[in-house]
Amino acid sequence: MRSGLDRRSSGNPWRDLPVVNQSPEEVVIGVWKGKTIAESIPRIGGGSPAGTVIAALIMTIALIPFFAFRELSRVLGKGVLAALFLKAQPDAGVSAK
């Protein structure tokens, strides 16, 4: 039996990748404005292979908390994680001075 953490919540993994979604949009906009397809392709990280790898690494690391909290919320149940973070907690016997 598989645990809740190893099941994908989405049937489409490309939906969650901003670069994959943005690049075709930029090409369409560029072609619409009269540029060629090659001119319309966004230059991620300055256009060099190393820059592209670094930009992808930064985006991957930056998105870790988003996906972690989304997965935790899915596993714990609807509203549980939000209640843990946003619900007022009872006083733990510590006086505020």
Residue 7 lies in a domain: no
The total number of structural domains in the chain stands at: 1
H/E/C letters for each residue in 28-95? HHHHHCCCCHHHHCCCHHHCCHHHHHHHHHHHHHHHHHHHHHHHHHHHHCCCHHHHHHHCCCCCCCCC
Residue 48 lies in a domain: yes
Q: Please give the pLDDT value at position 96.
A: 61
Q: What is the pLDDT of residues 29-70, one digit of tens each?
A: 988 999 988 887 777 777 778 888 888 888 889 889 988 988
Residue 91 lies in a domain: no
Output DSSP code: residue 17: -
**What is the reported pTM?**
0.45
Q: Which domain holds residue 77?
A: 15-82
